[in-house]
Amino acid sequence: MTQSALTDSLRHLDLRRFREVSLLVAGDFMLDEYIWGRVGRISPEAPVVVVRVERETRTLGGAGNVVHNLAALGAKAAVLGLTGRDRPAEHLREKLTALGVDAGGLFADPDRQTTRKTRVVGEQQQVVRIDRETPLPGGPEYVRFALDFARARLPGVQGLILSDYAKGALPPELAPELIRLARERHLPVVVDPKGRNWRRYAGATVLTPNQKELEEVLGRPLGEAAELAARGQELRARLNVACLLVTQGARGMTLLDEAGALHLPARTPREVFDVSGAGDTVAAVLSLGLALGLPLPQAAALANTAAGVVVTKRGTAPILPGELERELTGYVHREEKVVSLRDLRFILAHLKAQGKRVVFTNGCFDLLHVGHVKFLEDARRLGDVLVVALDSDASVRQVKGEGRPILDQEQRQRLLAALAAVDYVTLFDSAELPRILAELKPDVLAKGSNYPEEQVAGREVVEAYGGEVRLVPIREDISVSGILHQIRNG
């Protein structure tokens, strides 16, 4: 069966079913930190650039990125891992809690450092990466905790993911026991492997190595597809796993199971910006497919489709339901700029982790006119990304009275999305504004200068978390009320 035929078979998959799935993710949870700044000179102390720091951001890495993908698709996750007892561990827990994930399965070892990768970026160019970690296997106390936790949580999940980055959270005596416990309950086990000793993954359902990792384990480069298939099948049989899904970057993936070898090419030609995190997306989406009962080829095709999306994004970023649906169906329900508040949370977290400055504004934008356009263009210049929160029809009636809006919310969203200055449009009710600002934490809240700053709704929320309120000068004395008056009076 070809990738095209497999994708066609997934065309009617209801992605809302992901919300029914809960998975246990065990492995190396890491904190990815970014220090963003400008480069203006060379240091007089050594031949290195001086980076003037402007901002710092943090995001989930390693097994945390697997959880990020699951949460973005609406699935639930339980986590099992190993951290230090330090501030980075607190940041990890905060990030997981923000996704609605219980971080109680993270074991804090006071003798360890939480694994942390700090990247210094000057003028969008990575200057240096600093790794802080304790790459030693977790001790007996952690192993006992992990097994007790797994026994308690496995009855309530539909699958197990082992995300191994060789940082100590899956020591040799733990991984086989986790696999055994899950398989006893007939749960699918997906492993993103690391290192050369894959015997500890024996009995798993699927291993998802990239081709380089497979070559390192086999101790030889793999040339033709036939050689990859033959050597991979031998390894699969020795390990007693149902499938090897070998990821091959821009070439797609190769599925090796009892039925033989099936190559799944990348679905469409596209520009690959960044493959980092693509393996995490594959593990997450493949596991969701298996948890829903999809056959291995279909689950692999679903994962291949998702990976084809995330490699077009810069940095690690999750796949969103709307993106996956567009790839599977080829149908765009609405402009790509128009997103739900739920998806916007994930989109902005990714953009801010890249160092982007997010500007947020809100309003009715009924009968879009040149004053609106100039305001939005000026607001966009305050940062890198402009998000417009549009009052729903009910919200407009509450604010403006009966007879408004003139254009319904669907038309107003499409008009705003057509503007080059607008990056994202989302629908909201005005009463929700404080909560939305607290969740999204835009860097700038922009309003027209016809609002006194002290009367800007949401000002206190934005300033409390360190954002700023900017009043944009109104350059055109135009109002919708004035336009309506002119129309009504001929």
Beta-strand runs (E) in 123-187: 125-132, 160-163
For CA atoms 331, 264, 12, 68, the dihedral sign is negative
Whether 101 and 29 have beta carbons less than 8 Å apart is answered as no
- CB burial class (10 A; 0-12, 13-18, 19+) of residue 15? middle
According to DSSP, the residues that pair with 42 across neighbouring strands are 49
d(CA 243, CA 470): 55
Q: Prior bond to 265 cis, omega within 30?
A: no
Q: Give the contacts of 490 (CB within 8 A, at least 6 positions apart).
A: none
> Residue 12 in 3-state DSSP?
coil
Per the annotation, the verdict on 111 as an active-site residue is no
d(CA 201, CA 27): 13
d(CA 190, CA 286): 8
For CA atoms 202, 206, 208, 212, the dihedral sign is positive
Give buried/exposed letters for 66-82 (b at 16+ CB in 10 A, else e): bbbbbbbbbbbbbbbbb
Nearest to 198 by CA among 187, 209, 188, 189: 209
Question: What are the angstrom distances between the C-alpha of 402 and each of 82, 136, 386, 390, 488?
Answer: 57, 67, 30, 18, 16
Name the active-site residue from 280, 391, 423, 443: 280
125 CB-side CA count, 13 A? 7
d(CA 254, CA 319): 21
- Residues acting as catalytic residues: 280
